[in-house]
Structure 1
């Protein structure tokens, strides 16, 4: 498996990875209408747009995208960053792919310059991020209006 920077040609396949992951992995924690709204907010066009401001990566098994993740400045901050769009196909979960994505994001320039890095995590992914050293922001372990739980890491 190889992890590399996202290119526009990856957008359709990456959006399909996200949709499949949301529908399978996140369905126990979220109603179908939330899943479908989240899929819509990760369309190929949205991913292409996000990649203009964020450093976005894809994990490939042979030529197939099996995971993705991105990092960017948090609301334009130079001292805070945010991890976004982290997804791994269900059949590749628990095989080190997510860890590889986080390790790549944590070696990225946006991470290295930050004093604090936040991630809006799904209920489904919280335990994974906690294993990676992230803690609940303000000790709040319940989802916000967007359905995400905010975790953070201070450097």
Structure 2
């Protein structure tokens, strides 16, 4: 069965609030299955609308629109020139879907779009840091675990995550 087509577009600064709302809803819904209450609260404190690099030329941010383009269902962020990485490696900063639209192909469509953009930019490898609740999604998309890390969300509160990578297919 072919998954439904998910309309994607470049995010604009007007999308910042919606992106933050989607991110927070996802953390609230999915975070408690992987982290304790204190960790979820700390994670939520890190999703203000100004956090998303919507105007940064090194970042590519896409949103998935619901039919009619009135509301967005998810977003993704690609950093094509991350600090401390070689020129052939980009970093997925996020792929996040509103819980109401999970398992509808939205996340996969966003990730495929970011991978295509990365490949078109000449990148050979993508890396990301996956929260516990996202690891299986990325594994299904061909990403391999590299190392377990702790991301500090606020003083003394970390989230155990998995750094992952994939090699992009040549065009």
TM, length-normalised to structure 2: 0.80
Map residues 4-153 of structure 1 onto 2, 5 A cutoff. 4-47=9-52, 49=53, 51-52=55-56, 53-61=58-66, 62=68, 63-72=70-79, 73-75=81-83, 77-109=86-118, 112-137=121-146, 140=147, 143-146=148-151, 147-153=160-166
Of stretches 67-76 and 33-42 in structure 1, the one that deviates more from structure 2 is: 33-42
CA–CA distance in 2 between the matches of 1:7 and 1:115?
27
Q: Which runs of 4+ in 1 moved over 4 A?
A: none
CA–CA distance in 2 between the matches of 1:120 and 1:132?
14
SS of alignment partner, residue 129 of structure 1: helix
CA–CA distance in 2 between the matches of 1:44 and 1:65?
15
Is this contact kept in 1: 2:90–2:118, CA < 8 A? no
Is this contact kept in 2: 1:6–1:51, CA < 8 A? no
TM, length-normalised to structure 1: 0.88
In structure 2, list runs of 5 or more residues that go unmatched: 1-5, 152-159
Q: How well do the aligned residues superpose, as a CA RMSD in angstroms?
A: 1.8
Is this contact kept in 2: 1:82–1:117, CA < 8 A? yes
Structure with max Cα Rg = 2
CA–CA distance in 2 between the matches of 1:25 and 1:106?
24
Aligned length: 150
CA–CA distance in 2 between the matches of 1:40 and 1:57?
23
In structure 1, list runs of 5 or more residues that go unmatched: none
